[in-house]
């Protein structure tokens, strides 16, 4: 599988029209681990044409037919879980312990939750007693372009592909060219499950190439994109001429508000969450807002956690964080750490350069800044690395003001043992998700944000509805 360079179009693996090789780099070693081809416009057009031709038949299948095929796909995913974990670890640097659990498990969980949503969803329902004869019908939106990121490969692929399949859409997937191996394995699983030719297609490529070709393509009815806000803006502009639906899940700069009455594990939990996946999560709690009376102790605790956080190569077993995904990402993080020092933040752990003993690979030192204010660059920009900024506050009102003072609005966090206060603060936070005292999102919960964190929701019934149009028919009998 890892040596496969072809694209999956119309139910078969095909050679690219104009081969252009790209090496996939193992971020732990900086060495190539596979070679893929980047797609040309001819490849994109062929995939879109296959999806368009397959739409009429697939869109008319029953939800029972679609559910049965998804069951087969779910079984294939579980059967090849070891291969999938190894592919994710190698391509984007997730340590094997993380790859085998959260990274792999995210894909499995979303397949299962979207299958549940499909089983329970009513695609036809009456408008209501006030309008007899008015029927509401949910129909698949059409041919979808799905563009996924490198940081949680199967999490995002499953959220988009499974929801589109369940809705009755056909699609072209463009995974990140940095981490394409897991998606190519996923395509093999779809093929083995027996989905009709043309329903699912995969073309590798970069954003300027295949990504732009999909977002501007007149035969694509919807784009679902996860990635940077900058890229989301570009996609929206490119899609505007065809007035296609654009669903965006973008960046974040989550605030983790720690009150003086928080439980004793709140700070440790927050630091570890920030560093999870080497900080490469859009919902990472990268701004820790701490009530001033416990600020000094929180800084000391965060320093201790950072200094005890092990960093090592992804292929090793054990509890450690791995490298960041690429040289480009490594250099960006180094520049932002330097900017934090330059702007006067207090570096209490980590800092510039690589951890001791790791001269090769894109490894970043787990870093904590104290004395941060919300005007500093490290408090404004999404760093996407293991870098935490700690900011003091004096009142509930100030905490909410600082938390909301950002372009983003994906996930915020609240730590307090006062339930009324937690609920009160949660209502005031301008974000699509708020997590209290470490409780994770439930199965099928909607994932998405406000403001420049995006405009859609993924997961469960909300994820299914993203890929559906709503029709009203009068005179229904």
Task: Please list the active-site residues.
Answer: 249, 282
Residue with tokens 């919960």: 445
* Exposure string over 312-344, b if 16+ CB within 10 A, otherwise e: bbbbeeeebbbbbbbeebbebbbebbeebeeee
339's enclosing H/E stretch is helix 327-342
Q: How far apart are CA 416 and CA 218, in angstroms?
A: 50
Count of CB atoms situated within 10 Å of the CB of 95: 27
Q: What does 106-171 look like in DSSP terms, one character per residue?
A: HHHHHHHHHHHHHHH--SEEE--TTSTT-EEEEEE--EEEEE--SSSHHHHHHHHHHHHHHHT-EE
Q: How many C-beta atoms lie closer than 10 Å to residue 131's C-beta?
A: 12
Provide the sign of the torsion angle of the four alpha carbons 241, 243, 244, 250, taken in this order.
positive
- HSE-CB at 345 with a 13 A cutoff on CA atoms is 29
Rounded to whole angstroms, the Cα distance separating 360 from 388 reads: 24
Burial of 419 (0-12, 13-18, 19+ CB in 10 A): exposed
Those residues with Cβ within 8 angstroms of residue 385's Cβ, 6 or more apart along the chain or in another chain: 278, 279, 280, 324, 329, 332, 333, 336, 364, 367
Q: DSSP secondary-structure letter at 321? A: B
Asked if residue 122 lies in contact with residue 135, where contact means CB atoms within 8 angstroms, the answer is no
Structure tokens at 353: 């350069």
> What angle do helix axes 81-92 and 104-120 make, rounded to 10 degrees?
120
> CA angle, corner 392, sides to 391 and 396, nearest 5?
115
Least Cα distance to 43 among 5, 97, 78 occurs for 5
d(CA 275, CA 256): 13
């Amino acid at each position: 599988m890892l040596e496969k360079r072809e694209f999956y179009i119309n139910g078969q693996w095909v050679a690219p029209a104009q081969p252009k090789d790209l090496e996939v780099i193992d971020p732990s070693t900086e060495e190539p681990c596979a070679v893929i081809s980047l797609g040309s416009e001819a490849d994109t057009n062929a995939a879109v044409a296959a999806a368009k031709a397959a739409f009429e038949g697939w869109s008319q299948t029953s939800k029972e037919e679609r559910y049965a095929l998804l069951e087969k796909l779910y079984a294939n995913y579980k059967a090849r879980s070891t291969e999938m974990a190894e592919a994710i670890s190698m391509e984007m640097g997730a340590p094997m312990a993380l790859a085998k659990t959260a990274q792999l498990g995210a894909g499995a969980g979303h397949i299962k939750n979207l299958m549940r949503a499909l089983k329970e969803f009513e695609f036809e329902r009456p408008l209501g007693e006030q309008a007899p004869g008015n029927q509401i019908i949910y129909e698949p939106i059409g041919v979808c372009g799905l563009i996924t990121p490198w940081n949680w490969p199967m999490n995002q692929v499953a959220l988009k592909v499974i929801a589109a399949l369940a809705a009755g859409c056909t699609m072209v997937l463009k995974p990140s060219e940095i981490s394409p191996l897991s998606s190519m394995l996923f395509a093999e699983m779809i093929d083995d499950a027996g989905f009709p030719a043309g329903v699912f297609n995969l073309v590798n490529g970069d954003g300027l190439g295949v990504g732009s070709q999909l977002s501007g393509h007149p035969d694509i009815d919807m784009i679902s994109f996860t990635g940077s806000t900058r890229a989301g803006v570009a996609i929206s502009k490119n899609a505007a001429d065809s007035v296609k639906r654009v669903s965006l899940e973008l960046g974040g700069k989550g605030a983790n508000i720690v009150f003086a009455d928080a439980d004793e594990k709140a700070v440790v939990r927050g630091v570890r969450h920030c560093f999870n996946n080497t900080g490469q999560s859009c919902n990472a709690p990268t701004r820790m807002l701490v009530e001033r009376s416990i600020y000094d102790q929180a800084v000391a605790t965060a320093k201790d956690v950072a200094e005890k956080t092990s960093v090592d190569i992804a292929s090793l077993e054990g509890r450690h964080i791995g490298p960041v995904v690429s040289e480009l990402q490594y250099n960006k993080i180094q520049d932002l750490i330097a900017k934090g020092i330059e702007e006067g933040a207090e570096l209490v752990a980590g800092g510039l350069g690589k951890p001791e003993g790791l001269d090769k690979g894109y490894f970043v030192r787990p870093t904590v800044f104290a004395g941060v204010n919300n005007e500093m660059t490290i408090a404004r920009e999404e760093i996407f690395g293991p870098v935490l900024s700690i900011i003091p506050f004096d009142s509930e009102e100030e905490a909410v003001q600082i938390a909301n003072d950002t372009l983003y609005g994906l996930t915020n966090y609240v730590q307090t043992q006062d339930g009324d206060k937690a609920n009160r603060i949660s209502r005031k936070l301008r974000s699509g998700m708020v997590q209290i005292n470490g409780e994770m999102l439930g199965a099928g919960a909607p994932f998405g944000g406000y403001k420049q964190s995006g405009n859609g929701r993924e997961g469960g019934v909300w994820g299914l509805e993203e890929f559906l149009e709503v029709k009203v028919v009068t005179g229904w009998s």
